[in-house]
Amino acid sequence: MTASTATTPDIDCVDLVRIFRTKDVEVQALQGLTLRVNSGEMVAVVGASGSGKSTLLNVLSGLDRPSAGRAMVAGHDMLDMGRAERVRFQRSSVGFVWQQTSRNLLPFLTAAENIAAVLAIARGPKGDARAKRVDELLDLLEVGDVRDRMTAEMSGGQQQRVAIAVAIANDPSMLLADEPTGELDEATSEQVLAAMRRINEERGLTTLIVTHDATVAAQVRRTVQIRDGRTSTEVVRSTRIDDFGDEHAIAEEFAVLDRVGRMQLPATFTESLGLRDRVRLTLETDHVSVRPGIGESPEQNEGTDRVDAPAAPIPNGDPS
């Protein structure tokens, strides 16, 4: 494949908007979010509580319909999808893992029966082939030892790993997870993430995790920060081998510029220079400068203090 070959991303959201209206209040949960996840990628969307993460995942999983914008998932248009297509999409194109284990597993079935049940519903393999597939999935997630236990008889980490097995049983092209480690302690959540990373690497399963937990971000190559319903910054992790053959982990943070040229300045930048309401933008030869507008912060209008909004990495690197 040449570099110019265009690949269709598995997730492609452009200017996604979701407005909730209740009586006289209007909540803009997503305010023009842009997100692209390529096939085989593993991405974490990180943001504070209320930033719109679950809203995004509900849209991507076809449980909720966006108010405006574009959302394509595994080749399906989420704004224009009939009921039959939606059912097919949810049964075979995507797998889900939710924060509440009770939403992932049927409590009166064992781990093995939970997996067998989704294979049965999707009219997957039958008889011996089904039993073999169940064992394969239990082995893959390293939960073979709890195959005959009910949900309540498993630890939180085991439940979430069985939930992943259930989610990928029908061989979806994508795994979507909403706070999959939200109810787990640190060590257990690392195990669950490691399992997701392994499946992503071994099977090339496109994986999107939304979480408020910044430690999850450190374990995923690409992290997208969501603020006020919009993707604001993106951290890309890579390793570099130096001249002495030593490996260094690099985390570069980028601001996300959308199609119409909007971006979010980090709060630390706007606060330190008193930037608000109106700012002065100047095009310099190789960057754009942002300064307080006249009357906003008089003492800072001398032209000495400014935030440079570079096209390239934000200078202070890793946010953690």
For ligand ADP, the closer of residues 2 and 49 by Cβ is: 49
b (16+ CB within 10 A) / e for 120-152: eeeebbeeeebeebbeebbebbebeebbebbbe
55 binds, among ligand ADP, Mg ion, none (CB under 5 to 8 A by kind): ligand ADP
292 binds, among ligand ADP, Mg ion, none (CB under 5 to 8 A by kind): none
27 binds, among ligand ADP, Mg ion, none (CB under 5 to 8 A by kind): ligand ADP
3-state secondary structure of 310: coil
DSSP 150: B
Q: Which two tokens stand for residue 125?
A: 């393999």
For ligand ADP, the closer of residues 50 and 75 by Cβ is: 50
108 binds, among ligand ADP, Mg ion, none (CB under 5 to 8 A by kind): none
For ligand ADP, the closer of residues 55 and 151 by Cβ is: 55
Shortest Å distance, C-beta 90 to Mg ion: 19
Shortest Å distance, C-beta 51 to Mg ion: 9
Shortest Å distance, C-beta 98 to Mg ion: 10
Shortest Å distance, C-beta 45 to ligand ADP: 9
Q: List, in sequence order, every beta strand (DSSP E) within the chain.
A: 11-22, 25-37, 42-46, 68-73, 76-77, 94-97, 174-178, 206-211, 222-227, 230-241, 247-255, 279-283, 288-292, 307-309
For Mg ion, the closer of residues 146 and 209 by Cβ is: 209
3-state secondary structure of 139: helix
22 binds, among Mg ion, ligand ADP, none (CB under 5 to 8 A by kind): ligand ADP
Q: Which helix (H) or strand (E) holds 121?
A: helix 111-121
Q: Among candidates 108, 109, 116, which has minimal Cα distance to 137?
A: 116
239 binds, among Mg ion, ligand ADP, none (CB under 5 to 8 A by kind): none
Shortest Å distance, C-beta 302 to Mg ion: 44
Q: Which residues bind Mg ion (CB under 5 A)?
A: 53-54
Alpha helices in 252-317 (DSSP H): 267-272
Q: Which residues bind ligand ADP (CB under 6 A)?
A: 20, 22, 27, 29, 47, 49-55
Shortest Å distance, C-beta 193 to Mg ion: 18
Alpha helices in 169-279 (DSSP H): 186-203, 214-217, 267-272
